Amino acid sequence: MRLVTAGLLLAAVATTAFAEAPATPKPHTLDELLRKWEIIDAKLSPNGDYLAVTLPGKDEKVVLGIFPIASPKDIHVIGMRERGEMVDEFEWVSSERVVLSLAKQVGGSQLEPLSTGELWAVNADGSHFKVLHSWRGEQQTGTRLNKTQSQSTFAMLLDTLPNDDDNILIYTTPIESGKDGAYSTVFRLNVNNGSRSSLGRAPMRNADFLVDSKGQARVAYGQDNELRSKIYARTGNGEEWKLVVDQATDGQHSRPISFVGDSESIYVQRTEKTGPDVVYSLSLTNGKWTEVIRDAVSDPLETYVTIDGGNLYGALFDAGTPGVRTFGDSAEATLLASLQIAFKGSLVEIVNFSRDGNYALLRVTSSSNPGDFYRFDRRKKKAAYLASRGQWLDIDQLASKREVTLKARDGTPLHGYLTVPQGKDAKNLPLVVWVHGGPHGVRDTGDYDPDAQVLAFGGYAVLQLNYRGSGGYGRALLTAGYRQWGAQMQDDLTDATRWAIEQGIADPTRICIGGASYGGYAAMMGVVREPKLYQCAISYVGVHDLRMMHTRGDINDSSYGESYLKEALGEDMDALLQRSPVAHAEKIEAAVFIAAGAMDERVPLAHAKAMSSALEKVGKKPVYMVKLREGHGYYDPENRLELYSGMLKFLDQHIGAQ
């Protein structure tokens, strides 16, 4: 660990009118669109006077910067000494002290970092650095840890205990936990001296927890190895756990959000038999469910809790354009509703409040703005601009998304987004159908999307569809995609493409399909099943042989992953082969671009090799890119620039933007 005092590329803090963003230069290059954000995450201190931010440092490391808002040049930058180590997540414990977790680039400097399960603490002025939890035992700082408590366990921050400046709650899980996972243990941990006390073990493997207003971990929840959700509750630390909600019994998936103010009820996001998820309150004493909020189209994507942690006051929905709906008569609900009006055309989220509630840190985003941060003074009713994620971007020159709705061939309503190049009409354009990965439970949203911006920058309209299997629109649509890879899920994408042609948006002779992971699979199956519809396909770290999902990669390393594959794909190897693009290379007429990472554990390189080999055997040599030190998606900036430059060149050759 080293402490560095340095300047930060933050604009000077100045009180401004609402929604007045600073003037920024117009992006002229692909490199500017791919540049990593100047600010990754930001949080306001409990007294409202300091801001802590994560930002890129030297050698692609992420560092923590802490500075007084009144004097942003007086910043303390916290970085890590060990090669490949960086700051992961962070939280304020008090106005003096911050707890942070570590991540490390495992296996190569270009791989995306993974959490190490270690926790450290530091003061706002960079002093009193302390290792709180580490599997490494003794540290070079001289800190000694109890090896039986720390060395073989992975720790996660659970709660910062707002009424306690000295302690936090964490839970730890054995690093070597086997395929079935492990039972976690909750601890109260002193952030000054590292002392801890156990508050009990979880009642199920792979559990998470909720903490009540008294700082007690009274709810545990998760999914069993058959993917069924369960919620347990207890009356206090050390008391016996009781199963209160079980998907195996009621058939609905439930996820707790937070305690209600009286701590005798909890908010739960719960699936419905049809339609999107609904937020309920659930009494832990009598089991009564009471509806709190629902939307006709979208699941609640985020929920917002009052400063005292006692009540929900808003939820984020995205049925086309992301928007927050507030409810109740709390001061927080009133504030957020007024902020949405003041920053018209943007999504305003309150990241956190100061402890007295006067200051709020705002994050303002849109489909053409990755994020501006403001500190809002509730007494003065003014917002002070602090920083932007993409300070160098001219958001007025970036493309915007618009909602699209259509019906699949079987009548299923589908939602998605269309991005059109800046200054172009949505008429007779070269089109890229860009398919999201996952696929189950993942979705495209109406917020800023670097892939869509890059493709629009190249002159292409971009269509992104939340096909069946996607999340965000209810459990029924999600499960409708199970065992439909290459079948109905693919039909949805075909139907959306034909819709874009019928609407006059797409030039039918200039259409490409592409995506990453599952998106790469869908791209290849698209040109297998519809050889005349698409002129080219891009598969980025894509799945090409469904049989390999059961035999290679990290998904089947856990019982949970095995159950997911059985439910999502099925186990009939002959049927899986028939729904794999690698088995149908001879049907492909379109040009193909394949990119992969040699160290990809999710979709091993064998997929790309097999697809490329199958194409070459039938005389169709693809553009083929492999980076030796990359995993499931390129992380290194130079590799990302080469990838997207190559993709745009490929598109220009086959569906030309001009």
What percent of the chain stands above pLDDT 90?
79
What pLDDT was estimated at residue 319?
87
User: Domain spans of the chain?
Assistant: 1-15+24-206+355-372, 399-655
As to burial, measured by CB atoms within 10 angstroms (0-12 exposed, 13-18 middle, 19+ buried), residue 285 is: exposed
Confidence of residue 5 (pLDDT cuts 50, 70, 90): very low
How many CA atoms, within 13 angstroms, populate the side-chain half-sphere of residue 548? 22
pLDDT of residue 89: 94
Buried b (16+ CB within 10 A) or exposed e, 151-169: eebbbbbbbbbbebeebbb
Highest CATH level, class, for 1-15+24-206+355-372: mainly beta
Flag whether pLDDT at 10 surpasses 50: no
12 pLDDT higher than 70: no
pLDDT at 173 over 50: yes
pLDDT score at 180: 81
Q: How confident is the model over 237-288, as pLDDT tens digits?
A: 889 999 999 999 999 999 999 999 878 999 999 999 999 999 999 999 999 9
pLDDT in tens, 16-67: 333 344 454 555 699 999 999 999 999 999 999 999 999 988 776 899 999 9
State residue 15's pLDDT score. Answer: 31
Question: What per-residue confidence (pLDDT) applies to 208?
Answer: 96
d(CA 293, CA 280): 7
Mean pLDDT of 184-213: 95
**pLDDT value of position 45:** 97
Q: Is the pLDDT of residue 99 over 70?
A: yes
pLDDT range class, residue 102, cuts 50, 70, 90: very high
Length of the chain: 658
Name every residue whose Cβ is closer than 8 Å to that of residue 610 and which is 6 or more positions away in sequence.
Answer: 544, 545, 548, 582
The pLDDT confidence band at residue 137, using thresholds 50, 70 and 90, is low
CATH class assigned to 399-655: alpha beta
How far are the Cα atoms of 1, 127, 268, 290 from residue 264, in angstroms, in the given order?
A: 43, 40, 13, 13
Residues near 306 by beta carbon (within 8 Å), at least 6 away in sequence: 312, 313, 330, 332
* CA-wise closest residue to 497 among 476, 526, 460, 539: 526
The full DSSP string for 430-480 is EEEEEE-SS-TT----SS--HHHHHHHHTT-EEEEEE-TT-SSS-HHHHHT
**What is the pLDDT confidence band of residue 114, given thresholds at 50, 70 and 90?**
confident
